[in-house]
Amino acid sequence: MSDIPKLTEALFDAEVLKSPIPVIVDFTATWCGPCKMLDPVVTQLSQEWDGKAKFFKLDVDDNSHITMRYGVMGVPTLILFVSGEPAQRLSGYQPKERIISKFGAYI
């Protein structure tokens, strides 16, 4: 399992919306196969972008309020927040290159 910290609704505003650097939230679920496939990719990016972006996992089953707030319909969904606003999103398993091409300009 990855060493990316888990996020809760209680910490969401402080960690994501008030962050001075971009934040990538991995909306995930323990039962989700594609989420497990995406895990090593996200972990790798979190190491490569260390200091430039923060990464968090958010379990959709435990945090339905935030999941609904951002209209997350399926997992995995990656949402990039910049200055507290969702700037980009990707749904489903994505190869590393696709994530970099979509999010890299903001990092």
CB 92 within 8 A of CB 37: no
Among 29, 32, 58, 80, the active-site one is: 32
Annotated catalytic, 35? yes
Can you tell me whether residue 43 is helix, strand or coil?
Answer: helix
Annotated catalytic, 3? no
Among 4, 24, 29, 35, the active-site one is: 35
User: 62-66 long-range CB contacts below 8 Å, 24 or more apart?
Assistant: 62/8, 63/7, 63/8, 63/9, 63/12, 65/9, 66/9, 66/12
Q: So which residues are the catalytic ones? A: 32, 35
